[in-house]
Amino acid sequence: MMAQSLEGIRVLVTGSAGFIGFHLSELLLSSGAHLLGFDAYTDYYDVRLKRDRSSRLRGYSNYSEVEGKLEDAALLNQAARDFQPQVIVHLAAQAGVRYSLENPRAYVDTNIVGTFNIMEVAREHAVSHLLMASTSSVYGANTEMPFDEGQKTDHPLTIYAATKKANEVMAHSYAHIYQLPTTLFRFFTVYGPWGRPDMALFKFTKGILEGEPIDVYNEGEMYRDFTFVTDLVRAIALLIPVAPSESNRKSVDTLSAVAPHRVVNIGNSNTVKLTDFIEAIEQALSKKALLKLLPMQTGDVPATWADASLLSALTGYAPKTDYKTGVQAFVHWYRDYYQV
């Protein structure tokens, strides 16, 4: 069903060399879509990893790429005019909780200015669907679990979360003014092969293999809704044909009353304790971790848990990969990629 609905469609993917963007691009390309990747290859983490992801994408004849920053409106506009996208999936962003404390301006530049430029491109080309990444971090100080899309998200705890909340409301204004069908998806702790070096699974695996202590915040009393990356990108691909409109309104929905705008959680709908996650890594590596127990990190939250019932209602699909299976897949990739 997915391959048929995406065959021949022209999709612009921002952040195509990133962790999630790479996996989504591979899925769309293998489904027959024509894809333009747009990525800045910033040095927030090892650029070689980004280059290696892109080299795999270049093996597809239906793939082309432009290197540049989203803040460069002229370059972005020219790339879009040359490609003429029908759909845009905007994944590029400055991510990371800790880095947002060190360099908040990077988040405003990329996540606010860059996203505005993408919305302008979507408006100019009247795309059939603009899909944009948000984050579970927008739930901020909320404590009612599981998180559902109808909850207020007015108390972000980091500038990263604040910029993503801003993206959601910016997108609503464009959806209303220009009748631009727009879906925002909130990601929940995505992990898997080709993951980012700043993410917990990558850092834990590296530390355990090298015999170095790993930082465990809140002394391990942390719970996360871990979402395997291949499940996540399948959900995104299935949402592409489901552009928000009154014709696909559900009984429980976030579809705006005044705009073709919707917010959708993408998560595994399950919580895993951080220490159990670490134990799964130890089992996959056949090596014990040295734990450095630390207090809660500024801007972090003790738990996340997605209510993904809207995703299921819209697509008939729900992420389901067990975290132990996902961890094993990552460890297999890590050992192969780094030859350890």
Closest to 231 in 3D by CA, of 196, 266, 206:
266
Among candidate residues 107, 160, 191, 223, the one labeled active-site is 160
Instruction: Spell out the residues 6+ positions from residue 45 whose beta carbon is closer than 8 angstroms to its own.
Output: 196, 197, 198
Provide the 3-class DSSP secondary structure of residue 290.
Answer: coil
Provide the β-strand partners of residue 216: 293
Closest to 122 in 3D by CA, of 88, 78, 79:
88
Contact (CB, 8 A) for 193 and 321: no
For residues 221 and 107, what is the distance between their CA atoms, to the nearest angstrom? 28
Contact (CB, 8 A) for 277 and 226: yes
Residue 234 tokens read as: 């399948």
Residue 205 tokens read as: 């695996």
| Chain-centroid distance, C-alpha 178 | 25
How many residues in total does the chain contain? 340
317 among known catalytic residues: no
Residue 321 tokens read as: 């990969």
For residues 266 and 310, what is the distance between their CA atoms, to the nearest angstrom? 9
User: How many beta carbons lie within 10 A of that of residue 216, not counting itself?
Assistant: 19
Where in the sequence numbering do the catalytic residues fall?
160
